[in-house]
Amino acid sequence: MTGQAPSLSFEIFPPKPEVGNTKILQALKEMQDLAPHFISVTCSNNNLNVEETTIRLADHIHNDLQIPSIAHLPAAYLTRDKVKSVLTALDDIGVQRILALRGDIIDGLPPKEDFRYATDLVSFIKEEAPHFDIIGACYPEVHPESPNSVSDIKNLKKKVDAGCSSLVTQLFFDNEVFYDFQEKCSLADIEVPIIAGIMPIINRNQALRLLKTCENIRLPRKFKAILEKYEHNPESLRAAGLAYAVDQIIDLVTNDVHGVHLYTMNNAATARYVHQATHALFKH
């Protein structure tokens, strides 16, 4: 056993401006009752208005709901000055944890030059605001731009050495892939905690999006069978998708994972289901 109880945390995303915040605020209220370890707030990779989206929600989570919050920050399209002002804004609201990202490169839109890789952002934050806790992203099934896993792990090592205190993984459906990745990290002397990102698949649209965007993610036979059999049966797909995620989590915690980060898709019912089914495992 690792001694310390694993953490259960949630990820949410800021809704589009035309959608408004009513629903997400209600969802967060419901998530508050589940006392997650932290809630992280994503940030669009070409977002010049991060103060009104990610930071505003992180502020609400941290100060109104009294739950530790992490702000995601993809920096490929940001300048150093903009990042400085984001750090100041986060300092002002007392949120001092950042998931430091490069972000995806948008077709036809060249990135700025200040932050070529997430590592550049990590180093910059370490220099500008060393009191910030910096978390990095990682990819058990290799980042799609990487030529191979050796290169990806070497780059990950540089990112961690630049100042990440922990890592959160891309979603995965095959725990064996995660265990292999943990081993590779360990061989590369990447010793920080690795938190497993888990996304319960609860509807057909989400499943279709997943199949389209996550080509490199292995879908175990058992998981594919669920998607195929219940594609047109929303209730069964939801039940089976949630049960699959719970099964993954039970296995991860049993194998001493440091933490599970649940990609909630802003759905409090998903968070509640998973919490109810697994919360006993997250205690000492």
Q: Any bridge partners for residue 271, and if so which?
A: none
103 and 75 Cβ atoms separated by less than 8 Å? yes
Residue 192 binding ligand FAD, by CB under 6 A: no
Output the CA torsion sign for 243, 244, 246, 247: positive
Of 58-66, 95-103, 180-188, 267-275, which segment contacts ligand FAD by CB under 6 A? 95-103
31 and 264 Cβ atoms separated by less than 8 Å? yes
Residue 42 binding ligand FAD, by CB under 6 A: yes
Q: How far is the CB of 33 from ligand FAD (least distance, A)?
A: 24
Residue 104 binding ligand FAD, by CB under 6 A: yes
Task: Say if residue 125 is exposed, middle or buried (CB neighbours under 10 Å; 0-12, 13-18, 19+).
Answer: buried
Marked catalytic residue, from 11, 30, 52, 231: 11
HSE-up of 112 (CA within 13 Å, CB side)? Answer: 21
Residue 74 binding ligand FAD, by CB under 6 A: yes
Q: Which two tokens stand for residue 154?
A: 């070497």
Residue 118 binding ligand FAD, by CB under 6 A: yes
The amino acid present at 197, given as its one-letter code, is G
Residue 43 binding ligand FAD, by CB under 6 A: yes
Query: What CA–CA distance (Å, rounded) separates 100 from 40?
Result: 12
- Integer CA distances (angstroms), 50 to 55, 69, 74, in order: 6, 15, 10
* Nearest C-alpha neighbor of 28 from the set 70, 57, 63, 56: 57
Q: How far is the CB of 254 from ligand FAD (least distance, A)?
A: 22
Q: How far is the CB of 268 from ligand FAD (least distance, A)?
A: 20
Q: How far is the CB of 20 from ligand FAD (least distance, A)?
A: 20
Residue 242 binding ligand FAD, by CB under 6 A: no
Of the candidate residues 53, 119, 175, 278, the single one contacting ligand FAD (CB under 6 A): 119
Q: How far is the CB of 142 from ligand FAD (least distance, A)?
A: 8
Q: Which two tokens stand for residue 219?
A: 């879908």
Q: Is 145 a catalytic residue?
A: no
Q: In the range 127-166, which residues lie near ligand FAD by CB under 6 A?
A: 137, 143, 145-146, 152, 155, 158-159
Q: How far is the CB of 259 from ligand FAD (least distance, A)?
A: 12
Output 101 or 202, the one with its CB closest to ligand FAD: 101
280: three-class secondary structure by DSSP:
helix
Of 37-45, 80-88, 179-187, 218-226, which segment contacts ligand FAD by CB under 6 A? 37-45
Residue 102 binding ligand FAD, by CB under 6 A: yes
Query: What CA–CA distance (Å, rounded) separates 268 from 136?
Result: 25
Task: Say if residue 146 is exposed, middle or buried (CB neighbours under 10 Å; 0-12, 13-18, 19+).
Answer: middle
Residue 31 binding ligand FAD, by CB under 6 A: no
114 and 132 Cβ atoms separated by less than 8 Å? no
Point out which residues bind ligand FAD (CB under 6 A): 42-45, 72, 74, 99, 101-104, 117-119, 137, 143, 145-146, 152, 155, 158-159, 168, 170, 197
Catalytic residues: 11
